[in-house]
């Protein structure tokens, strides 16, 4: 488009002629980020809690076959319509996922491919779930750096260029051993010691920078440990809280890789998905910040096991501590202060520990448990 190229050239020359600017901010200019005529402000449309048939957001979810992507797609499709939410990943989806709504191959490291998807499908919201989690990331730092950081840069540039509303999740892993742990506020020292945590702090700061510098409508929630019955653990340090239910049903025994007194913030997946929807729909003027803590409950492996044993007294729990995972957990918050989320956009959780355990067991079914122990 000649007008865009001319506009970019003039703006580039203006930057180069600015006194005191010895830098070369021109990698951004190549993608027309700061000069895009379609740049929108943070209070753009699509933030009303109710949508007419003609102004539904068109959503792309990257890393959509992970623990949260499929669940969020189901929730968003119910609210906005099946064809308005596109799942994407580099893996082959199960038949049930493939036939539940639009699915497309998308590699976040392929900038051109991502850009084509956004343009061809007229995407307005982008939910970026692609990432390597904590323990998996420590096992392959180079890959985690590539996926979690380079992939994020592609997402940020495309979202800014096309005026998208962008959601990138963060994590308890964005904090470190020098952060206040009980409770951990939204704003405090962040010095994580995992590549996963470092990449998430990077994502928070880059998203806020793009918001202030380019008007990107960036939104971020720091998730606690997420517990879901219908997906297998994905390599996170908090995944023991999912694995215990699978093992309890299958064998009646569970070996935990964290100390019994390791306290971490946790959340049932339904609360997590609802919080994501609510912050995406929140009017921009209600948001006092761009990255929020959210929390529901905080418990230890021992407390979770005791609650589970109330309904499965035969369950045997032992502890074989994994030093890597334990060191990660010991550097993380014990409890989140999420008062800003509760004040700004009325966040409120539904599930505490007893409700969590009952819901998980109901999912697996009482007949399965009876068959195992009778």
Please, what is the Cα angle at 178 between 176 and 182, to 5 degrees?
A: 85
Give the C-alpha separation, 219 to 42, whole Å: 10
Tokens 């096991």 belong to: 305
| Helices assigned H by DSSP within 162-251 | 195-214, 240-250
Give the C-alpha separation, 12 to 277, whole Å: 38
Known catalytic membership, residue 105: no
Residue 98 CA from chain centroid, whole number: 22
CB 157 within 8 Å of CB 31:
yes
Cβ-based neighbours of 95, under 8 Å, separated by 6 or more: none
Give the C-alpha separation, 180 to 188, whole Å: 7
Residue tagged active-site, from 80, 105, 111, 196: 196
What Å distances lie between residue 142 and 106, 107, 270, 324, CA to CA?
20, 17, 33, 18
Strand-pair category, 264-268 with 297-299: antiparallel
CB 130 within 8 Å of CB 203:
no
Report, as residue numbers or ranges, the catalytic residues.
Answer: 196
């Amino acid at each position: 488009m000649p007008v865009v190229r001319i506009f970019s050239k003039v703006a580039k020359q203006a930057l180069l002629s600015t006194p005191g600017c010895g830098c070369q901010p021109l990698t951004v200019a190549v993608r027309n980020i700061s000069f895009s005529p379609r740049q929108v402000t943070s209070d753009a449309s699509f933030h009303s809690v109710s949508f007419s048939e003609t102004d539904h957001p068109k959503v792309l979810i990257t890393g959509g076959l992970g623990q949260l992507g499929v669940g969020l797609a189901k929730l968003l499709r119910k609210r906005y319509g099946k064809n308005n939410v596109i799942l994407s990943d580099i893996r082959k989806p199960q038949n049930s996922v493939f036939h539940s709504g639009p699915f497309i191959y998308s590699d976040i490291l392929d900038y051109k491919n991502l850009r084509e998807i956004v343009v061809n499908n007229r995407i307005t919201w982008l939910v970026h779930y692609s990432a390597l989690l904590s323990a998996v990331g420590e096992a392959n730092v180079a890959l985690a750096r590539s996926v979690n950081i380079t992939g994020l840069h592609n997402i940020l540039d495309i979202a800014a260029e096309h005026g998208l509303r962008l959601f990138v999740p963060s994590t308890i892993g964005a904090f470190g051993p020098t952060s206040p742990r009980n409770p951990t506020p939204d704003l405090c020292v962040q010095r994580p010691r995992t590549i996963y945590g470092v990449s998430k702090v990077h994502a928070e700061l880059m998203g806020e920078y793009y918001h202030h510098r380019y008007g990107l409508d960036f939104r971020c929630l720091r998730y606690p440990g997420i517990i879901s019955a219908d997906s297998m653990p994905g390599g996170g340090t908090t995944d023991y809280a999912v694995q215990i239910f699978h093992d309890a049903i299958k064998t009646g025994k569970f070996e935990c890789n964290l100390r019994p007194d390791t306290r971490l913030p946790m959340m049932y997946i339904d609360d997590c998905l609802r919080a994501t929807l609510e912050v995406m729909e929140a009017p921009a003027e209600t948001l006092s910040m761009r990255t929020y803590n959210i929390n529901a409950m905080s418990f230890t492996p021992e407390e979770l096991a005791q609650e589970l044993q109330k309904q499965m007294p035969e369950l045997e729990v032992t502890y074989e501590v994994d030093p890597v995972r334990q060191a990660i957990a010991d550097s993380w918050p014990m409890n989140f202060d999420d008062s800003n989320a509760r004040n700004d956009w009325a966040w409120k959780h539904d599930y505490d520990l007893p409700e969590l355990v009952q819901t998980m067991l109901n999912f697996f079914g009482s007949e399965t448990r009876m068959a195992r122990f009778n």
